[in-house]
Amino acid sequence: MPFVAVNPTTGETIATYPAHTRDQVNAALATAHSAFAEWRQTSFDERAVLMTRAAELLEGEVPVVAQLLTSEMGKTFAAAKGEVAKCAMTMRYYAEHAAELLATEPVATSATRSGIRYEPLGAVLAIMPWNFPLWQAVRFAAPSLMAGNVGLLKHAPNVPGTAAFLENLFRRAGFPEGVFTNLYAEIDVVADIIADDRVAAVTLTGSERAGRSVAELAGRHLKKSVMELGGSDAFIVAASADLDHTIPLAVTARVQNNGQSCIASKRFLVVASRAEEFLDRFSRAMSDVVVGDPMEPATVVGPLVSATQRDLLDAQVRDAVAKGAVVHTGGAPVEGPGFFYPPTVLSQVAPASRAGCEELFGPVAVVQVVADLDEALRVANATPWGLGGSIWATDPEEIERAIEGIEAGMVFANAVVASTPELPFGGVKNSGYGRELSQVGIREFVNTKAFFVA
């Protein structure tokens, strides 16, 4: 089955790429395995020269690459340009810091000399999603390649052009053949790749369902794995919140990337004393968001990635309304070409409804009134997910209680949850395990080797 890119703004097919055959995949694995034997021997300085060159190439092509991202998955052109720039910044970060992040650590023991070394594992398979098609691939690739591993990318089938671009980018930067390889591999072939002895580890960003399947395969073959899965992040508005600061960022937190982000805030838990004002102002702000052609500068929300995704979101909203939810703005797909769904605010959502217990992957916000911060924390944690969360307050005590009390891999205070190369990214519970980015992330796919010289 070919990999097909469809423009979600128009519904038209952009390009079609043939899937790789099993023989082609096998040849790619052989090349990657051979490349690793040499790549692991290169110095951090040698790797950094190539990674910096990749960043320079990317920085010189921001508008072109951004247009590719927008055409394949519908994010606004402004957001796409930001994503490309962030990728280049992250490449530079690891080019500059990988040596210190993976430096040999002396440890005092009874030995003459002892400590810990960090050595590459081999070929790492990355199974990546469509919603941040360049960023999520780069945040795997930059640290992995700088650690001395080689990368195998199995990207989402609807962003094949982005996958091809990234492979070509690394080649143009001078990385040897096989150090980073794009595989147009179908699902049944992926299982064989994970099982192959030439593959050392696997990382996946995607749905909980996909994570369970891939983690099971990785475990069966004793392969190290990292899973970054879904989330239903809580946005807690405390009694001391500054709503002038909070409201605009609440909108951003929900509609960023057209609402299709694992770390987008999805549940807005507002203490009763601030609920009426928040709901009124938030609903009005969401209704003012400009929806339209993602290439237009004024557009804030473009289309959802596919008709399937739009229809799923619509079904979740309709189910919530049928079970008593109140729609304050939005609530139905936009008519016409493309896969558009407007920013939507729901309240009084029944916990048993689909919107009450499923992840909403689109610009739909659920607002829930809670008595106080204690109840907000209980509700925030009453979910199978634990990716991120945020607290909006001016009282330092409320902020510290939330940072300690929210069961998630990341907690932000008075800021939208985001990823940055300096801090680890990942979740707990059904949001997965392991971390990307930072020192923690680059050490996920290395052999932490102890040595002891008597």
Structural domain spans, the chain: 3-229+431-453, 233-420
User: pLDDT at residue 410 above 90?
Assistant: yes
Does domain 233-420 fall into CATH 3.40.50.720?
Answer: no
Mean pLDDT of the chain: 98
The b-or-e profile of 114-151 (16+ CB within 10 A means b, else e) is ebeebebbbbbbbbbbbbbbbbbbbbbbbbbbbbbbbb
DSSP three-state, residue 183: coil
Q: Angle at the Cα of 380 (from 241 to 303), degrees rounded to 5?
A: 85
If you write DSSP's letter for every residue of 18-35 in order, what string do you get?
A: PPPPHHHHHHHHHHHHHH
321: Cβ contacts below 8 Å, ≥ 6 apart: 327, 331, 346
Alpha helix locations (H) across 323-348?
A: none
User: pLDDT at residue 23 above 90?
Assistant: yes
Residue in 262, 359, 407, 436 annotated catalytic: 262
The candidate with the shortest Cα–Cα distance to 401, out of 417, 387, 389, is: 389
Pairing of strands 180-182, 364-370: unpaired
User: pLDDT at residue 329 above 90?
Assistant: yes
Distance (Å, whole) CA 70 – CA 131: 10
End-to-end Cα distance, the chain: 58
**404 carries an active-site annotation:** no
Residue in 228, 359, 398, 436 annotated catalytic: 228
Architecture category of domain 3-229+431-453 in CATH? 3-Layer(aba) Sandwich (3.40)
* Cut 0.95: pTM above it: yes
The Cβ of residue 374 has, within 10 Å, a number of other Cβ atoms equal to: 12
pLDDT in tens, 361-390: 999 999 999 999 999 999 999 999 999 999
pLDDT for the residue 11: 96
Q: Backbone phi, then psi, for 390, in 5-degree steps?
A: -140, 150
pLDDT range class, residue 117, cuts 50, 70, 90 = very high
**119 carries an active-site annotation:** no
Average pLDDT over residues 254-261: 98
The Cβ of residue 203 has, within 10 Å, a number of other Cβ atoms equal to: 26
365: Cβ contacts below 8 Å, ≥ 6 apart: 250, 254, 265, 266, 268, 282, 286, 343, 344, 345, 346
- Examine domains 3-229+431-453 and 233-420 and report if their fold is the same: no
User: pLDDT at residue 206 above 90?
Assistant: yes
Give the containing element (helix H, strand E) for 378: helix 373-381
Average pLDDT over residues 38-43: 98
